[in-house]
Amino acid sequence: MKSALFTGAAVTLGLLMASIGSAQASTIDSDGSTSSHQPTARARQHGIEKAGDAYMGWVQNNTMTSTAAPAVMAPDATVEGIDVSSHQGNVDWTAQWNAGKRFAYTKATEGNYYTNPYFAQQYNGSYNVGMIRGAYHFATPNDSSGANQATYFLAHGGGWSKDGKTLPGALDIEYNPYGATCYGLSAASMVAWIRDFANTYKARTGRDVPIYTNLDWWTRCTGNSTAFNSTNPLWVAKYASSPGTLPGGWPFHTIWQYSSTPIDQDRFNGDMSRLQALANG
């Protein structure tokens, strides 16, 4: 596979929880969006009970039930990993290493109001056991600008350091668990929001943020925009035997989230040397 080159600087880890505020009854707007972070009925069915509970692939994790392992490429062509959030609590990283996992992404932040209380154990624990690790941000584009949320992410664990074991922070942009699927934004506005986040992250770290999404959401909410396919690595969600048609004209995927059993399963599209190159920039 091809790999983009990245450079940048480390950002200090912030560990304090951001105040969410008291829950208020939400008002449904004409486009179906809500004015607060009340989870929708669908989100509650998927374990999202309050603001901050959203996690990578929250819809796919419950609606796509195939547990068949995807076809395995040549052993030296892929690297196995996982992604985690507060739902996993304290992770047994030694067990994950012994299961063959060699990289991990941990949810750091959501919107500009939430930090993962298990972040330190998950992010540092994966690193300490020998994995290449990274952090991700769950975007809520209706809350604040892309620049604002990128800055919040960077201040609370989303930074990057050229230590050979830290991946660039990832942007999780997908179905809205708190209201309208596309957060009440037009396709053009959504693309502009993503660009604002990506540009801010790169200006601060020198790295192009990987984008986690899926074909359905990306098509609905960005008009299947091709604005990022030559700069930002694609992390595609598809629970099937192959990644299938890629969104946004990306010529290849960098990471594939292919299952949620027994924890979110990810596969890097390359051997360990390419994963290390992504970490090193």
Active-site residues: which are they?
83, 172, 174
> Does residue 133 contact residue 167 with C-beta atoms inside 8 Å?
yes
- Give the closest residue to 168 by CA, choosing from 34, 7, 18: 7
- Give the closest residue to 202 by CA, choosing from 169, 235, 248: 169
Give whole-number Cα distances, 17 to 108, 157, 160, 258, in Å: 10, 12, 20, 31
- Give the closest residue to 117 by CA, choosing from 107, 131, 127: 107
Give whole-number Cα distances, 253 to 59, 101, 185, 256, 268, in Å: 20, 19, 26, 7, 9
- Give the closest residue to 5 by CA, choosing from 163, 233, 176: 233
Question: Whole-angstrom Cα distance, residue 8 to residue 64?
Answer: 37
As a dihedral over the C-alpha atoms of residue 215, residue 141, residue 175, residue 6, rounded to 10 degrees, the angle is 50
Question: Whole-angstrom Cα distance, residue 140 to residue 275?
Answer: 28
Structure tokens at 117: 């209380």
Give whole-number Cα distances, 201 to 148, 217, 251, 253, 254, in Å: 10, 22, 23, 21, 19
